[in-house]
A = this chain, B = another copy of it.
Amino acid sequence: MSLARLQRVAVLGVGLIGGSFARAIKQAVPTLEVVGLAREPARLSPAQAARVVDDCRPISPASVTDVDFLLLAAPVSATQAVLETLAPGFSAQVVLSDAGSTKQDVDAAARLALGARYPRFVPAHPIAGSEQSGWQAAQAGLFVGRRVILTPTPETDGAALALTRAVWEACGAQVSELGVHEHDAVFAQVSHFPHFLAYAYMQQILQAPNAATLLAQAGTGFRDFTRIAGSEPKMWVDISLANRANVLQCAQAFQASLGELIDLLQAGDSAALEARFTEISGARRTWHL
């Protein structure tokens, strides 16, 4: 199935990501019909009126029999239940993908839920978003120039993988691949655990007796360091729990790293601290997005 032959795409979870995907794929393939799936389809009427989706259907097998490609853009913890519900309705040629920030749990849920259809499932992680949420914030250009990581497994169907890549590239994304386990280990380190750190630091500030003074004196360093502590709490609890083992491993490694620097500070070892900070600072300045 090539991109041009797609007739009907379904999106489950018409929020910022799902809604933006809907807008983007419709823009890329104007003949496409985009269907929003929701527990209460009527709640998607405004999204349909705003032409984010063309139709709204309930989350049931009958809703997906004529669907060529489905994007699951709901909380990762809902993956298994939702796919189990829909599974009886999928055609043999359907291609399924998701947009979750963690992949091991999504992949495990898909294996359990999809049975014979599992090879049609291509786990994906679009690295995109904004502080906003909801379909009202959906933009066709959300994924332009952004990265999407696909995490196929040995069982993944080659044609399904190719179509998924084509779909995300049609949305403007730069598509690359990682193994399922590697993805979660890497993103624990560079994304999930820093969120945890930022939450822990912000909590420390709020728990201080002089929290009001601290917040009044905090400046741009604080602002940037804690920006990710303003992230959507439910989503980040979801991600932390889904990727718990990796996040806990990061925490151990971090405490060792922090402990080293604390020991040097306690010892007043300015030469060693300067050597460390120089290396760290140099690496950060060299790095770029």
Q: A residues touching B (Cβ–Cβ < 8 Å)? A: 127, 147, 149, 178, 182, 185-187, 189-191, 194-208, 210, 213-215, 217-234, 236-237, 240-241, 244, 247-248, 250-251, 253-258, 260-262, 265-266, 268, 270, 273-274, 276-285, 287, 289
Partner of A147, one of B219, B225, B237: B219
Whole-angstrom distance from the CB of A179 to the nearest CB of chain B?
11
Q: Give the nearest-CB partner of A211 in chain B.
A: B283
Residues of B within 8 A of A258 (CB): 196-197, 200, 251, 255
Q: Give the nearest-CB partner of A236 in chain B.
A: B277
Contact A190 B219 (CB under 8 A): yes
Stoichiometry, as copies per complex, reads 2
Contact A206 B283 (CB under 8 A): yes
Residues of B within 8 A of A268 (CB): 241, 244
Contact B224 A191 (CB under 8 A): no
Contact B190 A257 (CB under 8 A): no
Kindly state the separation between the CA atoms of A177 and B171 in the bound complex, as whole angstroms.
53
Please name 30 pairs of A and B residues whose Cβ atoms are closer than 8 Å in the assembled complex, sorted by A: A127-B219, A186-B210, A190-B219, A191-B218, A191-B221, A194-B226, A200-B257, A202-B280, A203-B260, A203-B280, A206-B280, A218-B287, A221-B227, A221-B228, A225-B227, A229-B280, A230-B281, A232-B281, A233-B277, A233-B278, A233-B280, A233-B282, A234-B278, A236-B277, A237-B270, A237-B277, A240-B273, A241-B273, A247-B265, A255-B258
Contact A265 B241 (CB under 8 A): yes
Kindly state the separation between the CA atoms of A186 and B280 in the bound complex, as whole angstroms.
25
Contact B283 A199 (CB under 8 A): no
Contact B261 A241 (CB under 8 A): no
Kindly state the separation between the CA atoms of A219 and B281 in the bound complex, as whole angstroms.
18
Given A197-B225, A270-B237, A281-B229, also A261-B219 (CB < 8 A): no
Partner of A194, one of B187, B222, B266, B281: B222
Kindly state the separation between the CA atoms of A285 and B284 in the bound complex, as whole angstroms.
27
Query: Given contacts A178-B217, A225-B227, could you give 16 more A-B pairs where the C-beta distance is less than 8 Å?
Result: A186-B214, A189-B208, A197-B201, A199-B280, A200-B254, A201-B254, A206-B280, A207-B253, A207-B257, A208-B253, A236-B281, A237-B274, A237-B277, A240-B265, A240-B273, A244-B268
